[in-house]
Chains A and B, each alone.
Chain A
Amino acid sequence: MTDHETKIIIAGFGGQGVVVAGNIIARACVIEGKNVTGMVSYGAEMRGGTANATVVISDREIAGPFVERPDIAIIMNQPSLDKFEDMIVSRGLAVLNTSLVDRNVQRRDLDVAEIEASRIAHRLGNVRVANIVAIGAFAARTNLLEMSSLARGIEDLFKSKKAALVDINKEALRQGAQMMARFKE
């Protein structure tokens, strides 16, 4: 039990599934009995515009759902890197979808996890699972959540909608994690 709240932002353009990614992370937290809040940028969002989801995780009571200074930023495209790089806490983690980011992280005080999420998703047959590939990378790098909880989160979310999506998303999660594990060595 620590007082620390782990604050996560997932940012990309509308249609990249940042809301779904936040939802799956939050569901995994519920499964593990952690306190969690989720929040989505709402309002004039549209496909192609920027979107972000924030998740706060803690063993204690959470003060608020907002994330001003994320500990972890899952960055799905270039505009999101430009917008959020400076906000990440010192020694925080940036998970970068290098398929859609065309420069390196400038800051030297960050841990950077690079993953070709969109390319891996494309190879899997559906570029829309890039968000889940990125979650897989995030999970492998941080060990914050069990892979099995995230997989269950995927099942919970997709089974009621399109059962066929469960398998490809679980595979995306696995490949994201595997790729990160490989880089770690």
Chain B
Amino acid sequence: MSSQGKILLKGNEVMSEAAIQAGCRFFAGYPITPQNEVPEYMSKRMPQVGGTFIQAESEIAAINMIFGASAAGARCMTSSSSPGISLKQEGISYIAAAQLPCVIANMQRGGPGLGNIRASQADYFQAVKGGGHGDYRLIVFAPSTLPELYKLTMNAFDYADYYRNPVMILGDGILGQMAEPVEILPYEPIVELPEKDFVLDGCKGRKPRVLKTLFLRPSMALVRHNDLLQASYKKITAELKLHEETETDDAELVIAAYGITARIAKGAVKIARQNGMKVGLIRPITLWPFPDEPFKRAARTADRFLVVEMSGGQFIEDVKLASECKKPVEFLGSGGGWYPTPDNIFEKIQTIYETEALVD
């Protein structure tokens, strides 16, 4: 195994460097633990590459700066953690309505309210189901290792541009704070990037362009705009579902987990397999669009699901929808800073096996 080119970085730094590599040249943010290394890193790197770093006066100001920067054609990004992301929701709805590309990172911490500063996955609903007002969708990526965080952050900028839609990186305090070796690979677009024909950069020599989110007249204008958005979401849903499967072929019990939890669950799968238990893992990489096919398949072949998440039970609803409730779905999770270890996931697996044996 070669260590060539690998450097040790914290998750927050990995994500920031990936953004810089991908050509992000505008960052606005406001400090909040556990994502403070993002603005710190950006404040150092942006001037080096001729970009702009702004520590905004608030999260609300930051997201609206992103609205403007994106409208002006910049690759742009903001980041925060749970309470700060709540503050950004109005701006996110506007950006989604205006179909502007940008990347928003949420290194989730404990909630609700001001919560605490430990890791959490309790903003799943907010990220995946809405959060702001109106019928809009964010593309949501859930990286589970730092090399993947690096890659998906780069991809996020490309998909944002390609679909003209904001993309959210849904991480958590563990992913942001942990350090791991990462290879800083050069950026290569993952899709063919369209020309930005919406940019407001002065209309000398061309027709004026308008970016707006208020549609009063004619009376059906907003319906038409919504239909346009839905058509875009349909296209994204058809094209962008990403997931990873581990040992699901012969699995009796399929664990469903995303992000850092999925990485920990992979350790539990290993222990279970060593103990002769047929356990597998489905790990959604995109949380929206949700990769439902692997769950449909597993609902036919496996006996049972086990959802593990760092919340009281949010992601589990999408697992039930995707598997059409055809098999029982067990749950291991809690909010507020709890995190699983491979051992306590394995204990839960053992309990499930024992209970099932009792039922038989």
Bound-state CA distance A62–B263 (Å) is 8
B33 touches A43 (CB 8 A): yes
With A36-B181, A38-B180 known as contacts, the answer to whether A63 contacts B263 (CB < 8 A) is: yes
CA–CA, A33 to B181, complex, Å? Answer: 9
What is the distance, in angstroms, from B78's C-beta to the closest C-beta of chain A? 21
A38/B178 contact (C-beta < 8 A), A64-B260, A64-B263, A64-B264 known? yes
Contact across chains for A37 and B178 when beta carbons are under 8 A apart: yes
Q: Which residues of chain A have C-beta atoms less than 8 A from B1's C-beta?
A: 33-34, 59
Q: Mark B147-178, 1 if CB is under 8 A from A, else 0.
A: 00000000000000000000000000110011
Q: Is A39 an interface residue (CB 8 A)?
A: yes
CB-CB < 8 A to B117: which residues of A? 42-43
The segment from B2-10, B54-62, B315-323 found at the interface with A is: B2-10
Size of the chain A interface, CB-CB below 8 angstroms = 26
10 CB < 8 A contacts A-B: A31-B3, A32-B3, A34-B1, A36-B181, A38-B178, A62-B180, A64-B174, A64-B342, A65-B179, A66-B339
Within 8 A of A (CB), among B260-287: 260, 263-264, 266-268, 270
Q: How many Å lie between the Cα of A34 and that of B180 in the bound state?
A: 11
- A61: chain B residues at CB < 8 Å are 266
Are B33 and A42 in contact (CB-based, < 8 A)?
yes
Chain A residue with Cβ nearest B3: A33
Chain B residues positioned under 8 Å from A43 (CB to CB): 33, 117-118
A69 closest partner in B (C-beta)? B343
Contact of A42 (CB < 8 Å), options: B34, B270, B342: B34
CB of A64 within 8 A of CB of B6, answer no
What total count of A-B pairs have CB within 8 Å? 70
Of A29, A31, A39, which contacts B178 at CB under 8 A? Answer: A39
Residue of A nearest to B177 (CB): A42
Contacts of A65 in B (CB 8 A): 174, 178-180
Tell me which residues across on chain A come within 8 A of B237, comparing CB atoms: none
9 residue pairs, one from A and one from B, having the closest CB atoms: A63-B267, A38-B179, A33-B3, A65-B178, A64-B264, A33-B1, A30-B181, A63-B342, A43-B117
The answer to whether the Cβ of A8 comes within 8 Å of any Cβ in the partner chain is no
Residue A39 contacts which of B118, B179, B181, B342 (CB distance < 8 angstroms)? B179
The answer to whether B7 and A39 touch across the interface, beta carbons within 8 angstroms, is no
**B268 / chain A contacts, CB cutoff of 8 Å:** 63
* Inter-chain contacts of B270 with A (CB < 8 A): 3, 63
**B341 CB–A CB distance under 8 Å:** yes
Q: Are the CB atoms of B33 and A27 closer together than 8 Å?
A: no
- Is B33 in contact with A64, judged by CB distance below 8 angstroms? no
A62→B341 CA distance, assembly (Å): 12
What's the Cα separation between A36 and B263 when bound, in Å?
14
Closest to A42 in B: B177
Residues of A within 8 A of B264 (CB): 63-64
Residues of A within 8 A of B8 (CB): 23, 26-27, 30, 36, 38
The answer for the CA separation of A43 and B342 in the assembled complex, in Å, is 25
- Bound-complex Cα distance A42 to B7 (A): 21
Assess A66 versus B341: contact at CB under 8 Å? Given A26-B8, A33-B2: yes
Q: How far is the CA of A27 from the CA of B310 in the complex (A)?
A: 30
